[in-house]
Amino acid sequence: NRTIADGARSCSLESAVCIADGYLRKRLTTMSSLRAYAFNLAGPRRALAMKVASLSDPGAGSVFETLTRLLLAGAGLRAPLTQYDVHDQDGTWIGRVDFAWPEARLILECDGFEHHSSRDAFHRDRRRWNALSRAGWAVRVVTWHDLVDDPESVIRLVADHLAGT
């Protein structure tokens, strides 16, 4: 937790949250431990560490997902559920998605090129997206290029759907 707090002092808020999410993902810390450590700090370090703890999510599957989540939060959009398990109407598991807004039946996937290292992986993803659509979910996809080069398009992708619910 000290590494995370030190990172929060010496790098951007986004980088510090990425570090914290990485520690949480690898189970090197817990949310309760992270919050307790931040709460017990003194001075300006405490406020920054508390901010990092409040923005961290153990469900973040990657830096890509963390940065996407922070972008959406910074735009004032309601927080999604992370690593959400989706089932069809019969209760059959369809898959786990990066972000979901169940009340809006919206899914956002962070789709990296390296994830589709084979034709089989590419086709499995498409079949899963089709199953999600058949189950009544709107599936939206964001790429690293979208996030870095056109973050406004990522915000609009989610905001437009949420505005209709």
Closest to 81 in 3D by CA, of 68, 97, 61, 64:
97
Given a contact cutoff of 8 angstroms between Cβ atoms, the answer to whether 154 and 71 are in contact is: yes
pLDDT tens, 114-125?
665 678 888 888
What are the phi and psi torsion angles at 108 (to 5°)? -125, 125
Predicted local distance difference test score (pLDDT) of residue 114: 64
Q: Which of 7-11, 87-91, 124-128 has the lowest mean pLDDT?
A: 7-11
Closest to 14 in 3D by CA, of 67, 81, 68:
67
Query: What is the percent of the chain where pLDDT is above 90?
Result: 70
Q: Which of 25-29, 59-63, 122-126, 159-163 has the lowest mean pLDDT?
A: 122-126
Show the tokens assigned to 26.
């690898």
Predicted local distance difference test score (pLDDT) of residue 1: 65
pLDDT tens, 134-152?
999 999 999 999 999 999 9
Mean pLDDT of 83-109: 96
Determine whether 5 is exposed, middle or buried from the number of CB atoms within 10 Å of its CB (0-12, 13-18, 19+). Answer: buried
Mean pLDDT of 148-163: 97
pLDDT greater than 90 at residue 71:
yes
Predicted local distance difference test score (pLDDT) of residue 100: 98
Closest to 21 in 3D by CA, of 70, 59, 73, 74:
59
pLDDT greater than 80 at residue 44:
no
Predicted local distance difference test score (pLDDT) of residue 156: 97
pTM metric for this prediction: 0.86
Mean pLDDT of 34-59: 88
